[in-house]
Structure 1
């Protein structure tokens, strides 16, 4: 049973966490709405192309030929990753940069995985969707902007939890979900705010919590690189880096021998932070909706093409890999995306109504609000 003092503490927590994070959560919900449909919007804008229809075949183009074709387009740049499209098995992407360790890519080429034909170059740092993504991820402020949004996500979770705690004491005189339509405009907005808040509570908690985890992607992968990956490559630490890697196709074939029931997620090239100076790392993924979001790293000697070691990713990386698609509803195709979008719109209404209630607030102290609550005797007689 909540005491008067504890209700006051929860009220203050809800008030201040909500006030601090609401504007930023509105930004994230507004920018997140089009990002839910980023693949569909990219196709509509012509930023991506569906591979042409061809007779069904299990044959796949040679990765070394695809890499050569990509290098021919940017002779001075290095290949950083080969990436498989999780939603389109007939696409390979080649990410290039000024050097293999560069943080910013210079090109992102798409090739037909069956024929090896060049299809298109995805536009980097261009268009309205890029603006939406940058606002959603870091507000154009880099890592510090990302971590700041993570802090706002924590405040959102605190606001939601405190709102649930307060819902019972402040709404016990009313039936669940009641809206006092004949009362003042502010009371109607308050009831709608509470109703929509309870209706979207679980979804908002899930999206908020996964969003916080996503903001930690850089330190999480940094921990994996300095820990697990460094341990896997430790026996080769004193050897010089590989200048000219061997066959990427041979490396992929070797990875498939130790993970025969998995497909390629992406390959990191030697010198990249995800691979080390002397190895490819093939990140293999499962073939079910859930396991396709999880990765298993396979360390491959970049000269011989032989598998050196494979390990399961630690729990904190697995948590990140699961949270990313869950955050955007990217588990169940278009139907789940539509559900995510509808819940996002309802959450915008919750945040907007909360902001309206604060702007139209009455000068009523928390003590007066507590005095208006029914006491236990009133509750028993009701």
Structure 2
């Protein structure tokens, strides 16, 4: 590599790093507790635990569950109901003033007794603040897109750092840290070492994080593409004045997809359905397939299945990127590895700022 090429790559690495480093530090710091969100929730007493019941206790009708939740807020309407993968004891209901009300309330209802367990409190909690800072800086779609751009700069900085690694380290053995030399050289060696060790993780987490910032745009494209095709026969029909029972639609969906279970249900008029349908989103039972959804549209009046199809590749890619980003699909050991690599990346980012500051001082000294 010629000196001119090295200088060009060094310029790219320097400025992409400087622009994105502060925001990447924020994302690494807020992402660290999010890796252990379940464990921290249990420690803070925020995790909802279903009461003990005899094994094999039959489940209540989803319509009974809905009625119990709405009894708490009779002036509100249903938006969604969901259950976590591997835990079918609790339904989480989301209710608001309208189907699209962002100021919703969340209620946990026992799936077996049909009784309310408690109202979920998210706003203002530590984990909610960490999640909002990590996801969109409390700025909605524009915040997500901005962080996505920072993620792109981070990927460019990482790749340019790899390109520069060989010429800068050609006279040193791999892993060398010159502790006996000046502080700046020691930190330069540490920066290079941790950067190359965390390379694959940084690329995976950076790329999946950038993909996650496109979630709203990808969802809107799906709504205008495949969902529009699925609801085309209802295009000119008036929205139903009243909704039918949901349990027959759930039963029909489970019969249609016998190897799957219900992940979440979207009410007519929400982002994941149409004015005429319940959107019942099924998922598998394995570690990977539990992250992949298959929509089943159920007529809100007749409770009959009207359409069902696999999600397109771009939404499948988005759903796969989410567990890869947080490392929360491989148990506690994978979470610990993700946390250690996150901390190492914080050191890489911090040392990069330190080296730039030291170099700037050295350049201005007489």
Name the TM-score class by shorter chain. over 0.9
Aligned to 1:377: none
Residue 324 of structure 2: which of 314, 323, 326 is its match? 326
Aligned to 1:374: none
Find the residue that maps to 1:281 and give its secondary structure.
strand
1:236 aligns with 2:243: no
Aligned to 1:185: 183
Q: After TM superposition, list the pairs within 5 Å mapping 1:183-222 onto structure 2.
A: 183-222=181-220
Aligned to 1:370: none
Do the aligned partners of 2:158 and 2:203 also contact (CA within 8 Å) in 1?
Answer: yes
What is the TM-score when the length of structure 2 is the normalising length? Answer: 0.96
Residue 132 of structure 1: which of 126, 130, 133 is its match? 130
Distance 2:65 2:202 in 1: 43
Q: After TM superposition, list the pairs within 5 Å mapping 1:76-95 onto structure 2.
A: 76-95=75-94
Aligned to 1:368: none
1:169 aligns with 2:167: yes
Q: After TM superposition, list the pairs within 5 Å mapping 1:2-13 onto structure 2.
A: 2-13=1-12
| Ranges in structure 2 where 5+ consecutive residues have no aligned partner | none
Q: After TM superposition, list the pairs within 5 Å mapping 1:353-364 onto structure 2.
A: 353-361=351-359
Aligned to 1:341: 339
Residue 121 of structure 1: which of 119, 122, 125 is its match? 119
Alignment coverage as a number of residue pairs = 363
CA RMSD of aligned residues (A): 1.3
What per-residue deviation string (whole Å, max 9, x for no partner) do you get for residues 342-364 of structure 1?
A: 11111111111111111111578
Distance 1:281 1:94 in 2: 15
Aligned to 1:253: 251
Cα deviation, residue 19, structure 1: 0.5
| Ranges in structure 1 where 5+ consecutive residues have no aligned partner | 366-382
Aligned to 2:145: 147
Distance 2:241 2:318 in 1: 32
Q: After TM superposition, list the pairs within 5 Å mapping 1:22-41 onto structure 2.
A: 22-41=21-40
Aligned to 1:302: 300
What per-residue deviation string (whole Å, max 9, x for no partner) do you get for residues 281-318 of structure 1?
A: 11100111000000000111111111111111000000
What is the TM-score when the length of structure 1 is the normalising length? Answer: 0.92
What per-residue deviation string (whole Å, max 9, x for no partner) do you get for residues 193-240 of structure 1?
A: 000111111111111000000000100101011111111001101111
Q: After TM superposition, list the pairs within 5 Å mapping 1:283-294 onto structure 2.
A: 283-294=281-292
Do the aligned partners of 2:68 and 2:109 also contact (CA within 8 Å) in 1?
Answer: no
Residue 276 of structure 2: which of 275, 278, 282 is its match? 278
Cα deviation, residue 330, structure 1: 1.4
Cα deviation, residue 33, structure 1: 0.6
Do the aligned partners of 2:63 and 2:246 also contact (CA within 8 Å) in 1?
Answer: yes
Do the aligned partners of 2:69 and 2:93 also contact (CA within 8 Å) in 1?
Answer: yes
Find the residue that maps to 1:313 and give its secondary structure.
coil
Cα deviation, residue 327, structure 1: 0.7
Do the aligned partners of 1:107 and 1:124 also contact (CA within 8 Å) in 2?
Answer: no
Do the aligned partners of 2:85 and 2:285 also contact (CA within 8 Å) in 1?
Answer: no
Aligned to 1:100: 99
What per-residue deviation string (whole Å, max 9, x for no partner) do you get for residues 324-380 of structure 1?
A: 111111111222111111111111111111111111115788xxxxxxxxxxxxxxx
Distance 1:107 1:43 in 2: 21
Cα deviation, residue 7, structure 1: 1.7
